[in-house]
Structure 1
């Protein structure tokens, strides 16, 4: 034996290279992974997570670190098997010559029955029991971490297949070599002296999940040739020893340039001084009572779940960020995730969080910047995020594939792993970004599976919901949330379907001890209680806590702050005084008839003014804008979800520049929008006209009305007024109805109850005094409305309950299982119970929102002849784009901004959707385009649309069974689709 390892063991390979000139021995890869795992534990993992792991071990945090580095050094034991070895013949041959006979690749036709992660799991379990006398349950728990290091757990079926097919795993010399590896790493890591002390541990599933997630990170880093150079083929020397290995790891860390995690100190400032400093408030400014109470609560209690319910525009965002900093400092957390309902609201919050980071105390001198990411599918189109990427140091882009460990070949699947968006690649340097933020968009954290691992992340609620969805690499998503404070804004925006996933995620966040801050202006009491119950989960709580939670169902106080301690010892609900007088909004009914609506706008805007009209469907919004334009009531801006991504972003920026806190405020302007104007958009209008919507959303919309103090408003609009559009009661029904489109979106039940409750309120709505009472009445179960309406409402309620039950039922198949703390013997195979096949994952990705099947396409303008692709003429005039070559990154990002979502009328029928996709994929001209080869555009569907003569209108047609779809697009109206039967 050379260097303590037999020749056969030293010939085993872990990584191959495409040029067949270099390789990475298995022993060296195990040493690299163990050592980098230790550094990640020391310098990247949040202190709070280390403490939670340490509770499970007799030696505390030190023991937890030792166990983790030991497991990291054993993770690829299963690569010492014939099923793995034969996959690269020129590396298998030295193993055969050293006595590890593995036959040929053809001999191992069934090799996928023994994936190396499962072999690692099976062998470690057996070795711990037979060689070290470990308890059955303990060995199974620990070994399951190895089985999950490729993002899928090794469930009993997979492990049974490994046991049955011993030929694939290898007997005799193979078993001896694996034993030698296991023994070598156990001594090398220092774990040999603790094996007896660990033999009867019980490690909770939440800890196993975290360890498996961090092991994946360590494995990805250690698998990159850019960080850990490979050896020349034929070099079978033992792993580097001591100082040489230490230098190797230090060089890898320097090349990786991981930003250090956030490590705030507990603020000692008063609430007033703190808010002024963090948010750059002028002298004399004071926090609201809600902001002050949230800050004091975070300072004085071990907060687990914090629910802040107060009016729009009252400073919830600042309160949440203040609480996050205090809580993170007190608990030793290393970042935050800010979740919002949509990509547009995420973009707006990203700017605010970036500015907040600038106002935080400077990072320590040895931490050039923290890591920051924007977590949604169109992140690269956000100007500020793109600037963060572009401001880091340039480096050799030819190395991008090497720098991305997810591109390393996974020989168990014979294909490269799905990696990060190459379009997002840039320098891993941690240099400060010149005033953009105290953080950088570090290259390593831009892959879609790694975004949540950045210290600071802003994105859609989907990123949180997917933590409740069984899918490959789920443990990475959980690891990304473990060491953070999670902020969920506009919590009322989720439906019953999404709530199933959110509640399951809250249950796991409670198990991890992750603090969660929930923000809402209008949260039904039953929903508040459900979120608290979810966070508590199956953990035992004192009777007083259970009683307090039960009482939440009827608590109508407002503004209200609900707090649950992490240890469940205390739950409180405190009403906060509202500063200043209650705001009164005068309201009245209006008609959904377009002629009457136009007449109303004409009358109300006679003296000027800025009017916001919110319609519940895109079609109604488009028809309303068209009718107003024909009546000469402009200028008019239309905003909805069926614009190109680029145009949507421009419209949001334009709305803020005109109607924001410091906006230009035109004398007269009408904005027609859908729900995109309902949430997290800091704009202010003189008059609101809105379709009937559920009462909580109506109050959200009122938040866009007289939001800011103005020196002067037009005559007749000097006090806040709202007109609610609904149809007159039909014969004998006794209550107004929402439009057919509104009922399709929200269902009749909540609309009928909202209309009935509004009818009983009188001409004024007092904010905040009436917010909670009215919301609770609409979402409650007591009868509302006149006697003659009860039959209609009973029918609507029955349909509503059926709809909710159907939503909850549809959410179940891919839902992550609950954690039961009483099941102390559980391992990771009980955590994720669905097979992790690619097909299952692709189907599951669409499961976190209950929407009709939709399809996003990239609209490609062409000249009138259709022969030449051009940029949108309202963006760049007369600019031809070359479809015959791969675009550069900047051009690809621009093209990605031309995406638009087709309407449900085209996609809701599955057969029709399949036919549409085939037609888009088989366009002869488009199939020859080279754009498909750019990583950002790979897999996208392109829809060429001809520019019409003399304008900016694009048009095309798409054939379908028995009909022809006629499509038009303009920057003023967005996408319009009609049928030509």
Structure 2
């Protein structure tokens, strides 16, 4: 074997075990020190009042100080595999014969030796291991211990080298046994009193929570800015680590985040003088209620009600954080500003925008630097905002539903996300928008969250009785009974059968839906431009990007000066834009249709990205046919504010709803697909956007049969008429759509099962593995394409540097996201060449310029 060449500490006879290296890759922090850094952070987290309550709920019993010490001492062993010479050799100039190894696999080998009775840690491991063995939980706990990099480790997954002597072998210059004894002495000194009940160790929920808290602690404890590195072992390091851990938790907002000493008033929190309707009634919810559902009309103040609920729970010590989940990035951006303003009014914590690629915390903007660093324009550190995995650790965050759902799926760092989320009031807006797959993920997530004592608030203007009953664990009422239920209403699990009845004080309006027998882009553009020429602010929502782009091109040919603009040039809003450009588009839409928007005629064109959770107000709405609950959301952007003066001819709220000329029956025969309606056949069954023609036909009939809708008075009746299972069965029989209906129901059932199979059940034993690739486990069903890093200096069509582009998955067959991107700048946009693919990115968004040639056969 080649001799190892490195410096030997003059005070000891062997090289000390390192746990961290510096920027140059040199050992800089003793393994015992790093182990204690992480253990001290975990200890601090378990002493956090809210997390302590969650741990007690998981364990089924209050965790005594000795139990907290046991869990922290066990966390001290998380990197024990780094003792191995095969790991230590990673910094040795000549390496080691046979190659190096991961500290996780070496940790499993070390644990196996310990459990086999070998005298490791100089006997200090006895109080840790004995109760595990007695409870038969040693593999589960060691598996969770070694899952701190985000993925479970099966205890029997390691493979011994061919020569057993190669396992933790003796090598010149490094005595792993001496370092093991040193770790044992440190463990005994820094955790002198540890004890835990067998019943606690048998709790699956506690194993899951421990795994998540440990991963979070490892992330925090690995920050060399918070934990200055020291190579030489210090017997007194335990006290230093605890002091640094306490300071680190405060610095990143996980401990003692800003909050007023007395509960903030509604006026202080929201800027409104008094609460009304749902804002007032939310105060009557018992503090013991874990799941609350608000059903109220768009514009009725549900956001302020959610803030009031959070402020009450936060001031009572029931929660310590808020995660506000919305369906789209555009909605998250707008809502973030509102939540940040509320927090600023009361002196609360800054709000993080939890959208990947959009580095925003409070009023600060961030810029990525090499080495995973972020430069903030206020020269502060905004830890939780710097990486998506840390979003849920923020005291207040606003983002898409996807970030929350990742805590409930079998994906990397799901336990960390769930543990961080456990402190929060989880608010899910527009909950009706979730499909069968998302619901199958979201419901177990919420169940696990509430089982730990967490709080969840669901909000919707259009939640059907079937969905509400499923959330509350009730049988679904008949259509007739459901239609007669009060609206607005607030439901909660402390009394699930008896909703609270807020006063309907929101803005009531008469809406005039009008069917238009075409989905032609030119026709939609002509109607929109004609209205804008009369001074109307027009919102056009198409079901597909292709239809939106075609309509936008027709509108710009007719009157480009009347179209939404960015930097003086026409633009439209959909999902196929880079994140940096989406921010410009979001701002332009708000400037056009926001409360303080323009007062002249304008056409704003977009897709589903504009239909939910946005405070925008149009004088006239043109929309494709869509399911009733979605249509009511779109109508929520029409005449949203009662105090706005409407131009002549648009005093009434009119919505033009485009439907296929051939009707919907023809779409069920193929199946066929027209601008988002119906389905197309795939190898796995059906695919599409709004597949269920039964609900679409019921929606079309409601439009044809009811020339005037009273909103919100008719909301309940309309939703049940178009979404209730009884109504779906009736139209299916009337149109002889039995086969089509069976296929759609089977698809929905399969999607729900798929979501259930991929969910992370925290009441079950901690898993030994996750599915192979995170890309295969998604928050929204449907293929998701890879993201491609663009060359530095790439400038998008709006004059802003852009960093990443993400084409749709079906454009990326055979691509991984690792391929280089060649960028050619043109007069109107840029051409992107990725392998044999060519894409054009201009003001209409990303489009496909050339598809690769595929071999035949």
TM-score w.r.t. the length of structure 1 is: 0.73
Q: Paired residue for 2:364, among 376, 387, 401?
A: 387
CA distance in structure 1 between the partners assigned to 2:609 and 2:36 by the alignment: 52
CA distance in structure 1 between the partners assigned to 2:612 and 2:43 by the alignment: 44
CA distance in structure 2 between the partners assigned to 1:248 and 1:788 by the alignment: 67
The match for 1:306 is 292
CA distance change for structure 1 residues 785 and 752 in 2, over 3 Å: closer, same or farther?
farther
The match for 2:461 is 521
Q: Paired residue for 1:834, among 742, 766, 769?
A: 769
1:373 to 2:347 alignment: no
Aligned with 1:492: secondary structure?
Answer: helix
How many Å apart are 1:514 and its aligned residue? Answer: 1.1
Moved more, 682-691 or 737-746: 737-746
Query: What pairs with 1:69-218 in structure 2 (closer than 5 Å)?
Result: 69-89=72-92, 105-107=96-98, 114-116=105-107, 119-120=110-111, 123=114, 128=126, 132=130, 135-140=134-139, 142-158=141-157, 168-169=167-168, 178=180, 181-182=183-184, 185-186=187-188, 188-192=190-194, 194=195, 198-199=197-198, 201-218=200-217
CA distance in structure 1 between the partners assigned to 2:170 and 2:789 by the alignment: 54
CA distance in structure 2 between the partners assigned to 1:815 and 1:784 by the alignment: 29
The match for 1:672 is 605
How many Å apart are 1:979 and its aligned residue? Answer: 6.3
CA distance in structure 2 between the partners assigned to 1:110 and 1:552 by the alignment: 61
Q: Paired residue for 1:280, among 257, 271, 278?
A: 271
CA distance in structure 2 between the partners assigned to 1:153 and 1:904 by the alignment: 28
**Partners of 1:749 and 1:800 within 8 A in 2:** no
Aligned with 2:213: secondary structure?
Answer: helix
CA distance in structure 1 between the partners assigned to 2:507 and 2:31 by the alignment: 71
1:649 to 2:599 alignment: no
1:322 to 2:305 alignment: no
Which runs of 5 or more structure 2 residues have no equivalent in the other structure?
A: 1-10, 118-124, 565-571, 679-687
**Partners of 2:330 and 2:610 within 8 A in 1:** no
CA distance in structure 1 between the partners assigned to 2:183 and 2:829 by the alignment: 68
The match for 1:707 is 640
The match for 1:437 is none
1:946 to 2:826 alignment: yes
**Partners of 1:468 and 1:815 within 8 A in 2:** yes
* Alpha-carbon displacement from aligned partner over 1:5-28 (angstroms, at most 9, x marks no partner): x97899444334465765433334
CA distance in structure 2 between the partners assigned to 1:760 and 1:155 by the alignment: 59
CA distance in structure 2 between the partners assigned to 1:762 and 1:648 by the alignment: 37
How many Å apart are 1:498 and its aligned residue? Answer: 1.9
CA distance in structure 2 between the partners assigned to 1:732 and 1:29 by the alignment: 66
**Partners of 2:38 and 2:218 within 8 A in 1:** yes
CA distance in structure 2 between the partners assigned to 1:110 and 1:250 by the alignment: 33
* Alpha-carbon displacement from aligned partner over 1:607-666 (angstroms, at most 9, x marks no partner): 432222211112212222233344448512332223443443223212222321122211
CA distance in structure 2 between the partners assigned to 1:84 and 1:169 by the alignment: 10
* Alpha-carbon displacement from aligned partner over 1:887-932 (angstroms, at most 9, x marks no partner): xxxxxxx332xx554356634xx34x57xx79x63xxxxxxxxxxx
The match for 2:30 is 25
Aligned with 1:379: secondary structure?
Answer: coil
CA distance change for structure 1 residues 168 and 335 in 2, over 3 Å: closer, same or farther?
same
Query: What pairs with 1:241-256 in structure 2 (closer than 5 Å)?
Result: 241=236, 246-247=239-240, 249-250=242-243
Q: Paired residue for 1:624, among 551, 556, 560?
A: 551
The match for 1:559 is 487
The match for 1:352 is 338
How many Å apart are 1:531 and its aligned residue? Answer: 2.6
Moved more, 657-666 or 117-126: 117-126
The match for 2:775 is 843
1:775 to 2:719 alignment: yes
* Alpha-carbon displacement from aligned partner over 1:387-433 (angstroms, at most 9, x marks no partner): 2559xxxxxx99x96xxxxxxxxxxxxxxxxxxx424568885xxxx
The match for 2:282 is 294
* Alpha-carbon displacement from aligned partner over 1:729-779 (angstroms, at most 9, x marks no partner): 559879999834433421142554334542563211121122222222322
The match for 1:422 is 373
CA distance in structure 2 between the partners assigned to 1:66 and 1:330 by the alignment: 27
CA distance in structure 1 between the partners assigned to 2:419 and 2:746 by the alignment: 36
CA distance in structure 1 between the partners assigned to 2:108 and 2:376 by the alignment: 29
CA distance in structure 2 between the partners assigned to 1:731 and 1:975 by the alignment: 30
CA distance in structure 2 between the partners assigned to 1:106 and 1:30 by the alignment: 27
1:261 to 2:256 alignment: yes
CA distance in structure 1 between the partners assigned to 2:470 and 2:729 by the alignment: 27
* Alpha-carbon displacement from aligned partner over 1:854-889 (angstroms, at most 9, x marks no partner): 35557789xxxxxxx77457538xxxxxxxxxxxxx
CA distance in structure 1 between the partners assigned to 2:241 and 2:188 by the alignment: 21
How many Å apart are 1:483 and its aligned residue? Answer: 1.0
Aligned with 1:555: secondary structure?
Answer: helix
The match for 2:649 is 716
CA distance change for structure 1 residues 265 and 635 in 2, over 3 Å: closer, same or farther?
closer
* Alpha-carbon displacement from aligned partner over 1:366-396 (angstroms, at most 9, x marks no partner): xxxx46422222212x5x7572559xxxxxx
CA distance change for structure 1 residues 82 and 569 in 2, over 3 Å: closer, same or farther?
farther
The match for 2:218 is 219
How many Å apart are 1:278 and its aligned residue? Answer: 1.0
The match for 1:888 is none
CA distance in structure 2 between the partners assigned to 1:873 and 1:275 by the alignment: 43
CA distance in structure 1 between the partners assigned to 2:849 and 2:230 by the alignment: 62
How many Å apart are 1:703 and its aligned residue? Answer: 0.5
**Partners of 2:785 and 2:810 within 8 A in 1:** no
Aligned with 1:587: secondary structure?
Answer: strand
The match for 1:798 is 742
How many Å apart are 1:705 and its aligned residue? Answer: 0.7
CA distance in structure 2 between the partners assigned to 1:710 and 1:677 by the alignment: 22
**Partners of 1:343 and 1:378 within 8 A in 2:** no
Query: What pairs with 1:457-476 in structure 2 (closer than 5 Å)?
Result: 457-476=397-416
The match for 2:802 is 895
**Partners of 1:692 and 1:738 within 8 A in 2:** no
The match for 1:609 is 536
**Partners of 1:162 and 1:169 within 8 A in 2:** no
The match for 1:579 is 505
How many Å apart are 1:682 and its aligned residue? Answer: 1.2
How many Å apart are 1:71 and its aligned residue? Answer: 1.9
How many Å apart are 1:322 and its aligned residue? Answer: 0.8
How many Å apart are 1:812 and its aligned residue? Answer: 5.5
TM-score w.r.t. the length of structure 2 is: 0.82
CA distance in structure 2 between the partners assigned to 1:442 and 1:832 by the alignment: 32
CA distance change for structure 1 residues 969 and 287 in 2, over 3 Å: closer, same or farther?
same
CA distance in structure 1 between the partners assigned to 2:320 and 2:746 by the alignment: 43
Query: What pairs with 1:403-422 in structure 2 (closer than 5 Å)?
Result: 421-422=372-373
CA distance in structure 2 between the partners assigned to 1:36 and 1:784 by the alignment: 54
CA distance in structure 2 between the partners assigned to 1:32 and 1:712 by the alignment: 61
Aligned CA-pair RMSD: 4.2
CA distance in structure 2 between the partners assigned to 1:10 and 1:595 by the alignment: 76
Aligned with 1:688: secondary structure?
Answer: strand
